[in-house]
A = this chain, B = another copy of it.
Amino acid sequence: MKYGIVIYPQKEIQDWANSLRKRYDSHYTLIPPHITIKEAFEIENINEAIQYIENITSQIPPFTLKLSKVGTFLPISPVVYVGFEKNPVIYELQEKLNADILKRPLKHQFIPHMTIAQDLHEQEIHDVYGRLKLENLNKSILVDRIHLCYQIENQSWTVYQTFLLTGK
């Protein structure tokens, strides 16, 4: 079974992202707008993982991600995303969630982002990129919790457990 860990932005940001994803993101119906903090991974003992994650989230305080720019992963991957102003806390969280029993090889360097478009032809990706640069990005995400999800047969994700960030 595949697990993953994500941040769901608050509803206003999700609604804004979905108004764009609807047209551009093939995963639009499979998962709400999100920031992946840990890519799909497998683990035998999920309860052990949960204890481990709880220990981490008790050390990390709530933090803010300020939207900063539109980016693309071209030529590696046909994706347009929204990125954030650097905030060391999300890197600390990501590193701690990829250590010890949760350590897995990373497919890509960790770049915190919210995907807006994917699985389009390269020319379309360029068009969407240009289009998105006109969007107002004066928005912030308050991150006070993360969600451990699992993938079901139709490739969509169900939340298994929420972890509140309770560090000081």
A interface with B by C-beta (< 8 Å): 1, 8, 11, 14-15, 18-19, 22, 28-30, 32, 145, 147, 150, 152-154, 156, 158-162, 164
Contact = CB atoms under 8 A, between A and B. Distances in A.
Nearest to A50: B164
Nearest to A2: B11
A29 B26 CA distance: 13
Contacts of A160: 162
Given A14-B152, A14-B153, 18 more contacts: A1-B11, A8-B159, A11-B152, A11-B153, A11-B158, A14-B158, A15-B152, A15-B153, A18-B152, A18-B154, A19-B153, A28-B154, A29-B29, A29-B30, A29-B156, A32-B156, A160-B162, A161-B164
- Tally of this chain's copies: 2
A134 B18 CA distance: 39
A18 B158 contact: no
A25 to B, nearest CB: 12
A81 to B, nearest CB: 19
A145 B158 contact: no
